[in-house]
Amino acid sequence: MPKPIAPPAVDRVYTLNLGPQHPSTHGVLRVLLDLDGEFIVKADPVLGYGHRGHEKMGENRTYKQFMPNTSRMDYLSGLLFNHGFALAVEKFAGIDVPLRAKYIRTICAELNRISSHLLWFGTYVMDLGGFTPFLYAFDDRENILDILDRVTGSRLTYSYCRFGGVCQDVDETFLEMTKTFIDRLRSRFSDYHNLVTKNIIFIHRTRNVGVIHPEQARQFGVTGPNLRACGIPFDVRKMEPYELYDQFDFEIPTGTNGDALDRYNVRLEEMEQSCRIIEQALARMPKGGGYLNRSVSSRLTPPKGEVYFAFESARGLTAYYLVSDGSPHPYRCHIRVPSFSNLHVLVDVLRGTMVADAISILGSIDVVIPEIDR
């Protein structure tokens, strides 16, 4: 009798759709997961659900007309994108900016950075089941929105910068509100640490979870807090200073393990460093000197050529690449956004982890889909 042949092993791997989430609102992400039981075998981020063609619009509008588009990519740090585009065009066209305007821009940019980190803090902890910190974070963030609304006229999609300065000067009330907010935020850090940082459940959900190794970060082009959590102290504000950042005393927070807990700690410490920058800017800002270079033409035509300008948004290295053919609108407009690279490192990071940890890992990366689907 021939020996019976054992039946083939049952294929244990199955596919699960994580998402798509947020249909037709603030960005749609779908992650296609191949699972072996509760363990992730393969993760494939699927994008493109909300593509809007910002780069093509940049090539069909004048430089000034494209300015409102900039804050509609990373809408959580829209003022930083707005600021970066102004700096890129100013570098391209050789435009001088009054010193007072540089200080105003820096203060508003760092307030927007804190606002972005606060929103991430609140929503991340809520993803893990904690609702109270979300309310605390949004309470603090409302103060920033009130401050920026006073001077920009907007609470989210800012178009405050102009080529050569800003569209409106700040007043004493704005300065006092900013100082009061800095004191308020510092008093709240102890609440954040007591509620979240020292929470044993939060620690177990984040420590040694979703580790990004330095070599992985370099391979995928990870930047921002996610890179600094790996122990690499790269920040465009320090490495390639722009505006007034080379004149301020601030540190680059870093982690050691590159896990979700380090990414959390780095962002919390970055809020304190932004407070330091704002305080120094408030103390040094000249009372006069103007807030806008009024000699800049509204129909700007930079010389033929190209320019690349990098800056540090809330999520990492962001850059504008512009090509001019001498006409009033760019021949080519390309934007390098950090969320694309930061998201795709998950292809490596999620492999071998559990589905329950996928939400913690994804939330700790802090991606904004509309800047990817731009």
Tokens 């435009």 found at? 95
Take residue 212 and report the two structure tokens written for it.
């990004």
- What predicted TM-score, i.e. pTM, was given to this entire model? 0.93
Residue 351: its pLDDT value, please? 92
Written as six digits, the tokens of 246 are 């080379």
Domains of the chain, residue spans: 13-372
For domain 13-372, give the CATH superfamily: Cytochrome-c3 Hydrogenase, chain B (1.10.645.10)
Nearest residue to 211 (alpha-carbon basis) of 259, 254, 256: 259
262 vs 349: CA distance, rounded Å: 15
For residue 21, the model assigns a pLDDT of 67
CA 191 to CA 194: how far, in whole Å? 5
Class of residue 126 by CB neighbours under 10 A (exposed 0-12, middle 13-18, buried 19+): middle
pLDDT of residue 4: 55
Tokens describing residue 295: 């000699």
Distance CA 87, CA 83 (A): 6
**In which residue are the tokens 């492999």 written?**
351
Q: What is the pLDDT along the chain (374 residues), one digit of tens a residue?
A: 445 555 444 478 888 888 776 654 567 888 899 999 899 999 998 888 888 889 999 999 999 999 999 999 898 999 999 999 999 999 999 999 999 999 999 999 999 999 999 999 999 999 898 899 999 999 999 999 999 999 999 998 999 999 999 999 999 999 999 999 999 999 999 999 999 999 999 999 999 999 999 999 999 999 999 999 999 999 999 999 999 999 999 999 999 999 999 999 999 999 999 999 999 999 999 998 899 999 988 889 999 999 999 999 999 999 999 999 999 999 999 999 999 999 999 999 999 999 989 989 999 999 998 898 88
